[in-house]
Each structure stands twice: as C-alpha cells, then as structure tokens.
Structure 1
Amino acid sequence: MCSRHFGTVLGREKHEIQEHHFTASKRAQMSTGFSPYNMLECKSSQELQRFADEKIRPSSGPLSAACAAEVIALLELIQACFPLPTSRVIQGGSFIKGTDTQECSEIDVVLFSDVFANVKLCKKQLKESLDALRKNLKQTSHGNSGNLHSHSFEVMTYYDILGPTPSTEVPAFILYDKLKGRYYLWVEVLNIRKENLRKFKPTDLKLHLYRKLYLCDDSDEAQLCALALLPYQVDFVKASVMRVKELIRLMIHWFRTSFAKTTEENKYVPETSPTYTVELLSIHVWELAGKPLFFSLVQGMRAILKLLVQYAEIDVVWHRHYHPKFPIFVKVNRKHTRPFILDPVNPTANMCDSCNAWDEVAHVARCSLEKPLFSRVRVMAPWLFTDNW
C-alpha cells in the first residue's frame, strides 16, 4: 500500500490510519483467509491427529518409494541438462529434510561449477546457464507431461566455496599480518594474496566464509555464497525427532491455509510460506519444552501460535556452528532487532527477515487460537511455561 518506512510500529499505525484510513477491521479483513474445512475446526487432539495422518503427512509404502524414485530421476535429469560441468551437487528443501506435506514437496538443488569461480562473470553466466537448463528441461518428456506427480524444484548454481569434501582436510594458505599480529586463512574466493601453503580444518574455512558473508555489501552475492551452507541446514532440521517434524508440517499447513492471498493492493500478508523459519521456530519451542520425544500436537501448535502473537519477544540463537564469543556473532547479536531467529549455521542471517508482515502474522495467530481446536484446551506439562506468554 505504501513504500514509506517508519522507525516504530506506532508511527506506522498512525500513518496507516491518517493517510490510508487503515483500521483494525480492515487489517483483519486483509490478513485472514482461513480455507474451508480448515484443521483449526477440529474439536479434539484425536481429530487433529486424524487430519494430520490423512491430509498432511506424505504417503508411505509403494507410493512413497515411487515418489523418491521420481525425485532421484529428476535430480539426475537436471544435472544432465545443465550446460556446464559440475563439481558437486547438494540438495535441500522440505522433501530432503523430511518436513514435506502431501500438498507440496520442496526440493532445493545447488549445482556447483568451477566456471563460477570468477565472481565478476558469475551473474551473467548464472542467468545464461539457468536459462539453458530451463530450455533443456522443457524439451524432455518430463517437461511436457501434465499428469505426473509434481514437485517444487528450486535450482541454483555457484562456485563451491567450502570444497567438494567439507568433512576432510583440504589445502589452503595461511597469511600472517605483521601489523595486526594475526594469521589469516586464504582461499581464492576471499581475494587474499596467497603465501605459505598449510592444511586447515573445514570449520576454519566455514568461519572465514562467515566473515565474507558479514562483510559482503552485495545481497545477491551473499545469498550465492551462503548456498554452501545448505547441507548444514538440512542436518540441523533432520536431527529433530519425528514428532517435531509432524508439528512442523502442521505449522507449514497453517501458513498456507490461514492467510489471505497476496494482491497488488494487499501486501499485508506473508509473501511466501517461510518454511525454514517455521522449522526453526518449531524446533525452538520444542527445546523450550525440554525436547520431549512424545507430546500433544495441539499443545505444540498452541505454544507456537502464542509466541507468534507476541512476536517481538522472539529471540532465538543456537551455538552449534559458531561460538558465543565469535566476533561476527557478537556484532550481529548486539545490533539485532526482534523478531530474531538467527540461522543456526549462518550467524549473519536473521531468518525472521523472510517475513514482511509480522503484525498480520500475529493477528492471524490470535484469531487461530480462538478456533474450536484450541478453545477448550488446557495447558499441560511440559508446556506450562506458555502461560506466561
């Protein structure tokens, strides 16, 4: 509606009312869009479980095996149709992490090629190679078949910053800065002059990638560099117990079925379903509950929705990939605004930035808590802490 920026929520709300006649009732009308037969109409935890089993959980047995085989075939096809030689292919997305739903399987594919080692030429070559890939795929039988089971693929390519085998030692260069009395790791993408050849651990290279991301002024280049961290993101989510993945599926379904559709006039809704952000938020709430192996999905959903209502309190950090005293984390953490969910594998990325309408998320969450599914729910252990929210 308006491109103007504001320093506070109150300032924005005042402008909305005075200039756009934007009232609370209009906000509610523009943000909510509960789909028919929504799961929030379930009247018990048993009914929600049946809904999850029948409508959300991916199919099992032969159909699941056929789906997996189809994904493998499509991945091989994408690599075969890519017009440049690839050094490594990595995969991510909800299908790979085990958080996909019946309605949508997301697969992220990153094709690494040494051709993109030259950053200056990368953007032009990137567009040309992806356009060629799109053209090649359309010429295949898969590209012209409308009755096959469909998946959502997102394909990207870049230079393999962390190397083909991040779990093993690979050669690099160590530089010594006499003025600062400090050692620096050299790799080609960091644009530092090389001198003495040494060996380094993969974690060292990852820390230097963090420094590159922090200092990078080009957001497109930063996103490309961060592609190398995709396997670590996958591992972080895959490590969750199955019950957490069920909770994640329910919350992803909630995002897809509870908000109004985005239009030219109405941009006061999340532009996309922020899958990775939802995954991290669900894992965080589960950890606050003490990481129970088994728990009520209703209680878990209620906890997440209550936290979304007061989104300004969201402040989440993990330290499995970077130390609390790591300088870049300290700088980012000192300046951060809420809501704040720091990517557990990238200390420069606040995943809450993927949502453009937190006020409206809070409104829809508040409306959801008034639905039949939660209207008669009494908080139970280990979720008693949510009464303070």
Structure 2
Amino acid sequence: MWALKSYNCECCGSDFVSCTALKYHFQQKHLGKVHCEKCGQEVLREKLQDHNKSTHDRSTMETHRLHWENLEERNIKHMATKISKTCRMCSRHFGTVLSRENHEIQEHHFTASKRAQMSTGFSPHNMLECKGSQELQRFADKKIRPASGSQSAACVAEISALLQLIQGCFPVPASRVIQGGSYVKGTDTQGCSEIDIVLLSEVFASVNHRKKPLREGLETLRENLKRTSHGNRILMGKRTPLSLRFNFLCTESLHCHSFEIMAYYDVLGPTPSTDLKLHLYRKLYLCNDSDEAQLCALALLPYQVDFVKASVMRVKELIRLMIHWFKTSFANTTKENKFRRLPSSYTVELLTIYIWERAEKPLFFSLVQGMRAVLKLLVRYAEIDVVWHRHYHPKFPIFVKVNQKHTRPFILDPANPTVNVCDTCNAWDEVAHVARLSLLKPLFRGVRAEPPWLFTNDWTCKVA
C-alpha cells in the first residue's frame, strides 16, 4: 500500500492531505500574523504592540513590582536543618562547616576572589548611597515602609476575607488557626509581605501516617481556592510535600502577599502547661524525621511571633532596613551556586533584636547607628553566640545538650531550644564580605559609634 503523502504547515506543524488544503489553512490561520518574541503566541502584525502592552507589560509588573518571583525563593523556614554544612555549589553534605568549605575550595575553586564576584550585587540607587540619617529616613518612608491609612485598611479587609475563604475551602474542619510571617509580626516591607497560616484539625491527630492525608488536604485546598471568585488573583507556587504556597494580589493597592499554608493537629493547645511544652521539646530533640519535626514545631509559631512583635516600632523599622539590605546588596543566585542559602528573615529579625538588647533597649535611636552595629556584627559572624531563656530554663537538659555541641554562628530560637536558626545559611562568609563593603558606603562614611552603641567600638574589623 502506498503511503499517503502529507503536507506540513511550517508555522504550527499541522498536517494536510493536499497542497490546496495547506494553502487554505495558511490563509485562514497564519496570513498577516507574526510570532511574539516574548511568548511565542501568533498575533496580527498590527496588533503586536497592543499585545505587548496588555500581556507582557502587566506580566513584567507582576514579576518585578509585585515580586511574584518570591514564590520560588520563599525564605528557608526556621527549623532544624543541615544547610550550613551543605555545599552551595553541588548540595553535598558534610560533617562540619570546615570540611564543607575545604570541599568548595578544592572541588569548585571557590576562592576569595570568586566569592567576592558571586556574592556582591548592590542594586542601583541603593539605600547605602544615602548621606545621613534624614536621607535614610526619607528613603525608608518612601520605598521600604508598608502603606498606611486607607490603603492599609483595604489590605487588612481583603486578607481577612481570604483567611475566611481558606478555612471554608479546607476539606476538614479547623479547630484553631495560627498566623505568622512578616505581615503578622509587623516587619513586612513594600513588595515583601509573608503570611504563614497553620490550620489545626483534630482529624489529623487520629491518623497514624499523617503525611499522606496532610498532602491530600492541602491539594484539595489548592483546587478549591482556584475555583473561587478569588482564583484569578491567586498565583500558585510549586507543589511542596507539606505546604501550599501562593501569592495573593490585592486589587486596591496592586501589591501582593506571599502565603504559605500548613496543616497539623493541635499538639499544645491554646494554653499549654509548662510540662506539655517541655514534653514537646524532648520530642523535637529526639525526632529523627525532619518532616515530623517541622510539623510538631508549628505549635511554637505563636511564641516566635510574639517574641518579635514585642519589639518597639523603631526596632521593626531597623529590621525592615536589614531585610531590605539583604534583598538589594547580594548578587542573584546562579546555576553555579544555586544551593547557596542566605540567612532567613527570622534569623535577621532575631539578630537585630539582639543588637537592640545589647544597646539596652532604647526606645528611640539612630537607624544609621543601628544598621552599622548589625553590619559590624555580621563581619564578625563567627563570634555570634545568642541565647534567650524566656521559654526554657538554662539547666533544662535539652538546652544543655544543644548548647554543648553548638557551632558558631549560633542564635538559639527563643521558642525552641533545639534549633540554631543560623543553620539555615551556608554563606556566612559571603554575608561578612558584603557587610564589610557596605560599611564603606556613603551612608556610614565618617560615622562613629555614639551612645548607646559604644559597645561596637570593641568590634574592630578591617573594612578595606
């Protein structure tokens, strides 16, 4: 039997049995059209400019102005991890930070000059170019501090409505809802607002193998949210085993909030006893399953939030500046160092609060002096050793064991004695390098320590 000859359209790949059919198809579907270089879609030549404005100008705004790319770069959670001992180039894990650093030098030729090249990336019009406190304050008010007034009220109303929607779309009843993230703590910045939601349901307490029903519940929530009237303003992130991540666009103010939703059962309850909390600490310390430890630690989220929220407004302003510094002073991660992890926002919050406490908790202070103090400490990151005892006694056995084998930098989670939040970073040497260069910028030129920041005079560091 003879094979039937086909005529192929070069524009779309469709096959036709005759040349006449192919010509008719081309005239109807492709004549007068060109391919958009940005998305590949075919549009009429005279409509190409309108297509770019309506599709790609909006897409660019959503990607850059609204920071929807944060979905793929959500900060590492403050839980027990081994990131600090993981190679930033190939993700291989080592027993010590020193052995990891030796591996990076020998296998990846990660020299000091290469580190400088891959770490530094000051954005144009960086706040470090400000000259003096007043100019920095104006910069912060205009570009870092979140909106206030009617815009803020509209935002609060929309998020509150979305939270109700999330509870209604979750397939099982939630006995309690815990909220966290920078938005709840008051440390969010323009274009960087994180909201963590934990849905607690007793349904999961009676399940022996909880991970599967948890995943199924979050997947159902994902599909239900997409079908709601808010679905066109929800951009879903990549699927993760234990959480649902998406960005939600506020219509009134054209900015977005980065959501992360997790679910578990109420391990502690709303008013736990001291013994119950100590029991949870022991469970976290002995747990060999990192996923299970992460889920159990969700019960401690309210205490972590309260610790940061208790800071005065001026400290939260300083936290915002430091978070902005991390976002605008480092080079973007590349394929070569795609496993590099900078400190989490929670680590930055705790480090800033520690510096404020070292200054004896002033209610009002210079933001320039505060930033300078934090940066000088980051240069000497190997000396960071911070512990709070608000939720556990210094002689508590779990704390004693963790403290005996800790490595620096060390910031113990004030609500969880089993977690060093500095372990979420494997690039402290890069942080120190960028901090050292930042201290040379115009903002700090000629600035000397003033009360109550005189203790930083003992932190001598070569900034050349």
Q: Same fold per TM (> 0.5)?
A: yes
Map 1:324-339 to 2 at 5 A.
324-339=394-409
Name the residue aligned to 2:128: 40
Q: Distance in 2 between matches of 1:8 and 1:88?
A: 40
Q: Could you say what secondary structure the match of 1:151 adopts? A: strand
Q: Distance in 2 between matches of 1:155 and 1:264?
A: 29
Q: Could you say what secondary structure the match of 2:209 adopts? A: helix
* Higher mean C-alpha displacement, 260-269 vs 359-368: 260-269
Q: Distance in 2 between matches of 1:85 and 1:9?
A: 44
Q: Distance in 1 between matches of 2:194 and 2:93?
A: 33
Q: Could you say what secondary structure the match of 1:85 adopts? A: coil
Q: Which one of 424, 440, 445 corresponds to residue 354 of structure 1?
A: 424
Q: Is 1:269–1:361's contact at 8 Å kept on the other side of the alignment?
A: no
Q: Could you say what secondary structure the match of 2:162 adopts? A: helix
> For the structure 1 residues 68 and 237, does the alpha-carbon distance in structure 2 shift closer, same or farther, using more than 3 Å as the test?
same
Q: Is 1:31–1:268's contact at 8 Å kept on the other side of the alignment?
A: no
**Do structure 1's residue 365 and structure 2's residue 435 form an aligned pair?**
yes
**Do structure 1's residue 82 and structure 2's residue 170 form an aligned pair?**
yes
Deviation of the 1:21 alpha carbon: 3.1
Matched to 2:404, the amino acid is R
> For the structure 1 residues 162 and 12, does the alpha-carbon distance in structure 2 shift closer, same or farther, using more than 3 Å as the test?
closer
Q: Distance in 2 between matches of 1:80 and 1:14?
A: 52
**Do structure 1's residue 50 and structure 2's residue 138 form an aligned pair?**
yes
Matched to 1:275, the amino acid is S
Name the residue aligned to 1:150: 256
Q: Distance in 1 between matches of 2:173 and 2:371?
A: 45
Q: Is 1:30–1:268's contact at 8 Å kept on the other side of the alignment?
A: no
Q: Is 2:383–2:408's contact at 8 Å kept on the other side of the alignment?
A: yes
Q: Which one of 360, 366, 373 corresponds to residue 303 of structure 1?
A: 373
**Do structure 1's residue 376 and structure 2's residue 376 form an aligned pair?**
no
Name the residue aligned to 2:383: 313
Q: Distance in 2 between matches of 1:368 and 1:52?
A: 17
Deviation of the 1:35 alpha carbon: 1.2
**Do structure 1's residue 212 and structure 2's residue 272 form an aligned pair?**
no
Q: Distance in 2 between matches of 1:41 and 1:86?
A: 49
Q: Distance in 1 between matches of 2:220 and 2:416?
A: 31
> For the structure 1 residues 109 and 370, does the alpha-carbon distance in structure 2 shift closer, same or farther, using more than 3 Å as the test?
same
Name the residue aligned to 1:282: 352
> For the structure 1 residues 94 and 318, does the alpha-carbon distance in structure 2 shift closer, same or farther, using more than 3 Å as the test?
same
TM-score, with length taken from structure 1: 0.87
Name the residue aligned to 1:259: 330
Q: Could you say what secondary structure the match of 2:375 adopts? A: helix
In structure 2, the gaps of 5 or more residues are 1-88, 234-248, 460-464
Name the residue aligned to 1:194: none
Deviations 1:76-128 (A, max 9, x none): 11111111111110101111111111111111000001121146421001111
Q: Is 2:191–2:256's contact at 8 Å kept on the other side of the alignment?
A: no
Larger radius of gyration: 2
Deviation of the 1:45 alpha carbon: 1.0
Deviation of the 1:23 alpha carbon: 2.6
Deviations 1:128-159 (A, max 9, x none): 11111111111112221367342111100001
**Do structure 1's residue 62 and structure 2's residue 150 form an aligned pair?**
yes
Matched to 2:267, the amino acid is I
Deviations 1:41-85 (A, max 9, x none): 111111111111111111111111111111111111111111111
Give the number of equivalent residue pairs. 353
* Identical columns (%): 78
Map 1:49-198 to 2 at 5 A.
49-118=137-206, 120-145=208-233, 148=251, 149-163=255-269, 165-166=270-271
Q: Is 1:270–1:361's contact at 8 Å kept on the other side of the alignment?
A: no
Q: Which one of 235, 239, 250 corresponds to residue 321 of structure 2?
A: 250
Q: Is 2:186–2:309's contact at 8 Å kept on the other side of the alignment?
A: yes
> For the structure 1 residues 328 and 15, does the alpha-carbon distance in structure 2 shift closer, same or farther, using more than 3 Å as the test?
closer
Q: Could you say what secondary structure the match of 1:110 adopts? A: strand
TM-score, with length taken from structure 2: 0.73
Deviation of the 1:10 alpha carbon: 6.0
Name the residue aligned to 2:312: 241
Q: Distance in 2 between matches of 1:159 and 1:17?
A: 45
